[in-house]
A and B are shown apart, each in its own frame.
Chain A
Amino acid sequence: MGGAPQRPAKIRIQGLNKVFPAENGDFRALSGVDLHLGDGEFVSLLGPSGCGKSTLLRLIAGLESITSGSLEVDGRSLDGPPAGLGMVFQRDVLLDWRSILDNVLLPVEFAGGRRDDYVTRARDLLVQYGLAGFEDRHPWQLSGGMRQRAAICRALILDPSFLIMDEPFGALDALTRDELNIELQRLWQTTRKSVLFVTHSIAEAVFLSDRVVVMATRPGRIVETIAIDLPRPRDLAIRETASFGRYSAHIRDLFERHGVLRTKPS
């Protein structure tokens, strides 16, 4: 064991392997993964499709069990989803039959809380995320970007200490995506939640993160972790600076060396 980490660990993963049993030989989805997420840290997982990013998130969210190695969240190994976790997926998975407000309040109902205690907070979140006036609309009446904003509000309603986001902006257009990147950075700076963020956009990862964990495929593994020493708050123009460019070039280089053909987000 090395020296004590600077911040208490939100997630500590050591020598993790994940194998999916299959009839024609087992499939090794993750191999020898070591990962540390400090409390209040923003870390991105960056890698090509199929390198096991979602699998790793599902393990951390307690939705799937590890094959070997160790995985601790808040110092405890998991036997189900941990408390205080907010999750955002690539698809918003809002419930069609609920209004936007009621969708945001869903976690309250699951947690057995009193709805009335959270209505004000839900409305505030919706205002903050540009959804004022849409509280009583239904998901299908909103654009993709607005729906994803609502999904983020839903993840935040119980004020989780820990956010897991699996390519949350992957299906959105570039402008909406930029906008949401700014909002996410603001959220993180004001609340200092621990965030584990999956993307296959190099720029998005560098822009948002304290550290970028670069993954490669076959087998899914971590090839390098890069600390991003760029001042915060960052604005979008930082993407045109030389230091930002150096981080991007380095990561692109890593992908090329590890035989990842697609080095740009699709």
Chain B
Amino acid sequence: MIAGRAPGLLRRIFRANQVVVVIVGFLVVWQVAGTIFKAPPYLLPLPSAILAELAARPKIYAINGAYTLYNTLIAFALSTVIGVGMAIAIVYSKFLEKTLYTFLVALNSVPKVALAPIFVLWLGTGDASKIGIAFFIAIFAIVVDAVLGLRSVDPEMLDLARTLRGGELKVLLKIRFPNALPSIFAGMKVAVSLALVGVIVGEFVVSKQGLGHVILVSQGVFDTTAMFGAIFVLAFLGTVLFYGIELLERRLLPWHVSHRSQRASTGH
């Protein structure tokens, strides 16, 4: 029985730590290939060198990483709250759907990164411009997915709600909003990555701190290893943020279809 289970157990361990296994595998391939082909360190340093750099100056990366993370989280929270609010307004107002939503969809096709310098002009060289540009880049994903989720309610469910005579606020709170949560979470997972992109772009334009700042400064002195050090921290932050939201989703929406099958397969 135990022997029969062993492959299943291995598979389960792999699934639980899939990300870690894939990333470690990638780094090993990089290390081996870089050593064999003797890649010049000023172009592509070895992972071992990058990790050594991180270990040598942990404080620099921690402080700047925390700074970037902090702005990312603020921008992400703002885009989620305001984005869902806008989606509700759009779903309930034909006028806003025709104006605001149409405008947002049109604006979405503009390369928003190009607007980063404008945000610095408007909001100054401090945190506000980074948060501003990150918010601006991230909110589209939230609005689009939340509108989709709020709209895609079973019409019979809405009929039932009408016969219960509870008013539109109750329909929103008890039916439309919970129904939209899986879709909103899908938007949040995209938005959190975009918020990180936004903050880094803001830091590229002008900054005194942050991982974007570390990358720029390191580039100025040809310290490629330090650039990759910052990129490693960024990749780590992005991954943790994404899976953090996925974990939250699992906790809050155990009922959702995409989680049921996983439960069934890991359940026994």
* Alpha-carbon distance between A83 and B162 when the two chains are bound, in angstroms: 11
* Alpha-carbon distance between A80 and B154 when the two chains are bound, in angstroms: 20
Interface membership of A236, Cβ < 8 A: no
Q: Provided the pairs A89-B156, A91-B156, A110-B174 are in contact, do residues A96 and B162 lie with their beta carbons within 8 angstroms?
A: no
Interface membership of A81, Cβ < 8 A: yes
Q: Provided the pairs A63-B159, A110-B161, A140-B255 are in contact, do residues A95 and B175 lie with their beta carbons within 8 angstroms?
A: yes
Total contacting residues, chain A, CB less than 8 A: 23
Total contacting residues, chain B, CB less than 8 A: 22
Interface membership of B23, Cβ < 8 A: no
By the criterion CB–CB under 8 Å, are A96 and B255 in contact? yes
Q: Provided the pairs A95-B178, A97-B253 are in contact, do residues A110 and B156 lie with their beta carbons within 8 angstroms?
A: no
* Alpha-carbon distance between A111 and B159 when the two chains are bound, in angstroms: 15
Interface membership of B166, Cβ < 8 A: yes
* Alpha-carbon distance between A93 and B178 when the two chains are bound, in angstroms: 14
* Alpha-carbon distance between A254 and B193 when the two chains are bound, in angstroms: 65
Q: Provided the pairs A109-B170, A109-B174, A140-B260 are in contact, do residues A93 and B165 lie with their beta carbons within 8 angstroms?
A: no
* Alpha-carbon distance between A97 and B156 when the two chains are bound, in angstroms: 17
Restricting to B238-265, which residues have a CB under 8 Å from any CB of A?
253, 255-257, 260
By the criterion CB–CB under 8 Å, are A81 and B178 in contact? no
Contacts of A107 in B (CB 8 A): 164
Q: Provided the pairs A106-B164, A107-B164 are in contact, do residues A93 and B170 lie with their beta carbons within 8 angstroms?
A: no
Contacts of A93 in B (CB 8 A): 154, 156-157, 160
Interface residues of B, dominant DSSP: helix
Q: Provided the pairs A63-B162, A81-B165 are in contact, do residues A97 and B255 lie with their beta carbons within 8 angstroms?
A: yes
Tell me how far the C-beta of B158 lies from the nearest C-beta in chain A, rounded to whole angstroms: 9
By the criterion CB–CB under 8 Å, are B255 and A111 in contact? no
By the criterion CB–CB under 8 Å, are B255 and A138 in contact? yes
Interface membership of A35, Cβ < 8 A: no
Contacts of A112 in B (CB 8 A): 166
By the criterion CB–CB under 8 Å, are B162 and A109 in contact? no
By the criterion CB–CB under 8 Å, are A111 and B160 in contact? no
Q: Provided the pairs A110-B166, A110-B174, A111-B165 are in contact, do residues A89 and B160 lie with their beta carbons within 8 angstroms?
A: yes
Interface membership of B109, Cβ < 8 A: no
Contacts of A63 in B (CB 8 A): 159, 162-163
One digit per residue, 1 when the CB lies within 8 angstroms of any chain B CB and 0 when it does not, for chain A 69-103 equals 00000000000110101010101010111000000
* Alpha-carbon distance between A257 and B260 when the two chains are bound, in angstroms: 50
Tell me how far the C-beta of A127 lies from the nearest C-beta in chain B, rounded to whole angstroms: 23
* Nearest opposing residue in chain A for B170, CB measure: A110
Interface membership of A62, Cβ < 8 A: yes
Contacts of A58 in B (CB 8 A): 159
By the criterion CB–CB under 8 Å, are B163 and A81 in contact? yes
* Alpha-carbon distance between A58 and B158 when the two chains are bound, in angstroms: 13
* Alpha-carbon distance between A112 and B260 when the two chains are bound, in angstroms: 32
Tell me how far the C-beta of B90 lies from the nearest C-beta in chain A, rounded to whole angstroms: 23
* Alpha-carbon distance between A179 and B150 when the two chains are bound, in angstroms: 37
* Alpha-carbon distance between A140 and B261 when the two chains are bound, in angstroms: 11
| Most chain A CB within a 10 A radius of its CB, from B154, B164, B170, B174 | B164
By the criterion CB–CB under 8 Å, are B256 and A96 in contact? yes
Interface membership of A214, Cβ < 8 A: no
By the criterion CB–CB under 8 Å, are A97 and B178 in contact? yes
* Nearest opposing residue in chain B for A108, CB measure: B164
Restricting to A129-169, which residues have a CB under 8 Å from any CB of B?
138, 140
Contacts of B165 in A (CB 8 A): 80-81, 83, 110-111
* Nearest opposing residue in chain A for B163, CB measure: A81
Contacts of B156 in A (CB 8 A): 89, 91, 93
Interface membership of A61, Cβ < 8 A: yes
* Alpha-carbon distance between A245 and B184 when the two chains are bound, in angstroms: 56
Contacts of A110 in B (CB 8 A): 161, 164-166, 170, 174
Contacts of B178 in A (CB 8 A): 95, 97
Contacts of A87 in B (CB 8 A): 159-160, 163
Restricting to B151-192, which residues have a CB under 8 Å from any CB of A?
154, 156-157, 159-166, 170, 174-175, 178-179, 181
Q: Which 10 A-B pairs have the closest CB atoms?
A: A110-B166, A110-B164, A81-B163, A97-B255, A93-B157, A97-B178, A96-B255, A93-B156, A87-B163, A107-B164
Interface CB pairs A-B, < 8 A, 15:
A58-B159, A61-B159, A61-B163, A80-B162, A83-B165, A85-B163, A89-B156, A91-B156, A95-B179, A97-B181, A97-B253, A106-B174, A109-B170, A109-B174, A140-B260
Binding site for A on B (CB under 8 A): 154, 156-157, 159-166, 170, 174-175, 178-179, 181, 253, 255-257, 260
Knowing that A91-B154, A109-B174 touch, tell me 6 more A-B residue pairs with CB under 8 angstroms.
Answer: A63-B159, A89-B159, A93-B154, A95-B179, A97-B181, A110-B174
